[in-house]
């Protein structure tokens, strides 16, 4: 699945890397928590099995994730998915923060560590997601399609 593009697989080219989508029928929808979970799984599998293909897939996903992750930061909360810019629910915000912390521990990449700290701070400061942006079509609150 990680080698093939939708609708058969989940690999979508993103710059010099690959984004692994959650919904192969909606390949334009980029769900951050699912993507980070996928590359974390690839990292762990590659490390445990010494599998070169998994390592290569992780590196392709990691390149895309490092570039894409900051785009999900509103400055007050996280977006669940792009390009629709729906705000994460509380549960998805906490979930994605955990995935960022996991990747920070595994890779030491500044973007994962910094974003994890920011998202954790938003959770402490906000308590709940900020209200949706009144601009039509932006900042809706959801954690699903």
Instruction: Give the tens place of pLDDT for each residue, 88-112.
Output: 999 999 999 999 999 999 999 999 9
User: Which residues are registered as beta bridge partners of 20?
Assistant: 11
Q: Copy the structure tokens of residue 132.
A: 């949706």
For the cut 50, the answer to whether the pLDDT of residue 143 exceeds it is no
pLDDT recorded at residue 132: 63
pLDDT recorded at residue 129: 67
Residues 6 or more apart whose Cβ sits within 8 Å of residue 34: 20, 21, 22
pLDDT recorded at residue 126: 80
pLDDT, one tens digit per residue, over 17-52 is 999 999 999 999 999 999 999 999 999 999 999 999
User: Which residues are registered as beta bridge partners of 114?
Assistant: none
- Phi, psi (5° rounding) for residue 30? -105, 100
pLDDT band at 133 (very low <50, low <70, confident <90, very high): low
Q: What's this model's pTM, rounded to 2 decimal places?
A: 0.88
For the cut 80, the answer to whether the pLDDT of residue 114 exceeds it is yes
């Amino acid at each position: 699945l990680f080698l093939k593009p939708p609708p058969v697989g989940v690999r979508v080219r993103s710059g010099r890397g690959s984004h692994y989508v959650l919904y192969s029928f909606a390949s334009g929808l980029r769900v951050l928590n699912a993507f980070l979970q996928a590359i974390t799984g690839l990292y762990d599998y590659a490390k445990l099995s010494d599998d070169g293909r998994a390592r290569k897939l992780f590196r392709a996903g990691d390149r895309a994730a490092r570039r894409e992750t900051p785009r999900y930061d509103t400055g007050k909360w996280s977006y669940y998915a792009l390009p629709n810019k729906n705000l994460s629910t509380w549960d998805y915000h906490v979930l994605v923060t955990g995935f960022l912390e996991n990747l920070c521990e595994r890779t030491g990449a500044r973007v994962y560590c910094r974003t994890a700290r920011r998202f954790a701070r938003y959770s402490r400061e906000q308590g709940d997601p900020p209200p949706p942006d009144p601009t039509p079509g932006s900042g809706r609150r959801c954690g699903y399609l």
